Structure 1
Amino acid sequence: MIYGSVCSGIEAATQAWHPLGWKPSFFSEIEKFPRDVLTHHYPQVPLHGDFTTIQKDDYEPIELLVGGTPCQSFSVAGLRAGLDDPRGNLMLEFGALAKRLQPKWLVWENVPGVLSSNSGRDFGSFLAMLAELGYGFSYRVLDAQFVRTDGHPYAVPQIRRRVFVIGCFGSWQCAAAVLFDRESLQGNPPPRRSKGQKTTSFTASSFGQYDVSPCQTKTDVIAFYENHPADSRVTDMGEVCTTVTSRWGTGGGNVPYAQMQMQVRRLTPTECARLQGFPDNYLSQVKGANDSNMYKALGNSMAVNVMQLIGERINLVEQLQADLAKKEAA
């Protein structure tokens, strides 16, 4: 698959799609540090500036166009100027570029606030534009914490909800197959503030005999250090070690959890890279990297595991189409 990337940032898409054998035709980015990152990691890939100036014959023809246009004008944390903001209008410029380059596939990303911007009319304008260009499309909010792939079997430990629009020229069914399953359960049940319900269970001790399950008769917390007998307090690999408890005491097994005049430290750039699915030194090895520009670049990036899922699904749809074409030709 040959693709073009706009508003490329630090290229989560390429990080995700390189293992699939996909090849970038071009990148497009205007920010200095992300451009330095792209030049460092992908010196062979043409790097454009303003994507609105890209013309049809500037680069190798593409089969897919991907981009996450600026979200500030749609975010609920901002002024929400929508399409009246030049940054928000880049959403429509993405569609205009698709018209010029005519790829089969489109992948577009933004914050969930785009769905309600201007009472939904801004997002509706974008979808109407795609339909007018002949694209079938589907859209869905994906949360990075629930997306697991072969490359990221444990997803990423952050709540990151983003709207993804998949376009496929002439087929909404293909677009829908990328984002939706016939049957699915996404992650864990949502958190609730309602009162928890007690449960009761029994365990058979012998034929015709039963008793209350052991878990019903143990102390409130059984995994903590202080609740284990002395002969089990061995802090070897896989054993129970000193753990935060729900109460404070002066015994040796108690560890302070929250203290006055203490602060929770902020995450390091390396930890933020992990939260987005990037290698630890992906940014730090780039010349001119500092905490400020690394935080900004990672905060603006897509999550690698989500992009990998989308790439794998598109590959699957392409394979199914190829198999169907062979059967019809036989």
Structure 2
Amino acid sequence: MPAFDFPIEKLQNYMGSSPCPDDIDQFWDRNIAEMKALDPQVELIPSKLQFPNAQAFELYFTGVDGARIHAKYLRPKNISKPIPGVIEFHGYGYHSGEWSEKLSWVNSGFAIASMDCRGQGGNSQDSSSVLGNTLKGHIIRGIDSGPDALLFKKIFLDTAQLANILMSLDEVDETRLAAIGGSQGGALALACAALEPKIKLCAPHYPFLCDYQRVWNMDLDQNAYEELRNYFRYHDPLHQRKEQVFNTLGYIDIQNISKRIKAKTFMACGLMDQICPPSSQHAAYNKISAEKDIVYYPDFAHERLPGWADKVHQFILSHIDY
């Protein structure tokens, strides 16, 4: 077992270190209602790249703050009845990936939408106008303007809005949707399932954005979490606002919204992961009250997990009632 984190028996009972704001449910209920009141102005533009058995589209919609959000959307040709769908989310700073990477889902009879996070490596807009850092700082972006200005609040809402858009398409069966992704993508898959209760299945691996104070206390606020360290060094060197900072981050801490998840959840955790430490992941996983299961990779860190992609396909195919 890894020496840098809890033993597995404690991981399975660990419930987190970061605070949870008292009004967390009211905060998200209000924001979800405001998001659903928007006109998403959906566009489906045929992609320049097409495939023999699939139709590919550039999907655009208007999210909160008026940002135009982009996703790659593919569906099988010759659809005769509503089909299941997959919503895919990418890692921190990356983008929605290659079109051809999605074809295994299309060939299995699914529609798939893969979202570009606003302000990262894809084609989505970032319309934020906030104080403070914009370099390596999406977790703390907007923090000095209050929880409603947090960039990840908006990205979390984008995930739920994309799910709603997918459910509104004639070819998609709204009762058979799955959310998937790794690292940041794993966090966003959980966020999507938390904010949109119609998501049936959720399959994250080593989710990011969980239990910020635990990561900070472990001195692992580096790499993907480096902005936490830099925020305190630049803006609060004496830690006079530590409690306020972590309470504000609590609004975008996956562990604090995972109790809302109704989807059957299947998660993977590398026990040698020092990017998103296992205890931080378990803070979110252990608060999921829906049916769930977790797979441990004892010798693996924040890296490709052999066989996991196949396990996710089998999990979704076996539970989607296709």
Task: Settle same-fold status: TM greater than 0.5.
Answer: no
Question: Which is higher, the Rg of structure 1 or of structure 2?
Answer: 1
Q: Shorter-normalised TM-score: what interval?
A: 0.3 to 0.5
The structure with more strand, counted as a fraction of residues: 2
- What TM-score, normalized by structure 2, do the two folds share? 0.32
